[in-house]
Amino acid sequence: MSDIETRALNLAAYIQNGNGNVRMCPNPMLQAHLWEALCRAIEQSEAFKQEVSDDLVEHWKTPPMRFRRYVILKPKPDPLVEVAESMGYYDADAEDMAEEIRTALKARGLEIREKGQ
């Protein structure tokens, strides 16, 4: 399950459990469309937040304190995950493959470093 789907599920559970009114959509096909709409709305919200964050950082290399709560710090991409993705693994499979590679290297007393370090 992706991060977006997890957030959508948590939101749906919060709404269902929060007000006590459990109402499921009677049409299963429509329910699937509503689920997809919820996931897309969350994706669009996250994309907008990232766009605002990028614009703030572009405008001010170090945004003023009042705007720092809008800056999303991007984690440094994992090079092993990128390699796994280039080999056809995606999402959790790529992360699992990267972890397997790390474990195998560690067992052999090896490590990965950037050139020049």
Tokens describing residue 38: 């919820």
pLDDT of 20 strictly over 60: no
Task: Let me know whether 44 and 97 are in one domain.
Answer: no
Within-domain flag for 41: yes
- Give the pLDDT confidence score for residue 61 in this predicted structure: 83
CA pair distance 117, 110, nearest whole angstrom: 14
Tokens describing residue 101: 């590679």
Domain count, the chain: 2
- Rounded average pLDDT over 69-78: 84
Average pLDDT for the chain: 83
Task: Let me know whether 7 and 44 are in one domain.
Answer: yes
Task: Let me know whether 49 and 79 are in one domain.
Answer: no
pTM, entire model: 0.53
- Give the pLDDT confidence score for residue 5 in this predicted structure: 80
Task: Let me know whether 64 and 83 are in one domain.
Answer: no
pLDDT of 64 strictly over 80: yes
Within-domain flag for 18: no
- pLDDT tier at 14, thresholds 50, 70, 90: confident
- Give the pLDDT confidence score for residue 6 in this predicted structure: 81
Quick one: what percent of the chain has pLDDT higher than 70? 86
Task: Let me know whether 79 and 57 are in one domain.
Answer: no
Task: Let me know whether 82 and 62 are in one domain.
Answer: no
**Residue corresponding to tokens 């992360």:** 95
Task: Let me know whether 7 and 50 are in one domain.
Answer: yes
Structural contact between residues 80 and 98, judged by C-beta atoms closer than 8 angstroms: yes
- Rounded average pLDDT over 83-87: 89
Task: Let me know whether 60 and 83 are in one domain.
Answer: no
Which residues span the domain enclosing 38?
A: 3-12+27-70
Task: Let me know whether 62 and 98 are in one domain.
Answer: no
pLDDT of 105 strictly over 90: yes
Task: Let me know whether 102 and 63 are in one domain.
Answer: no
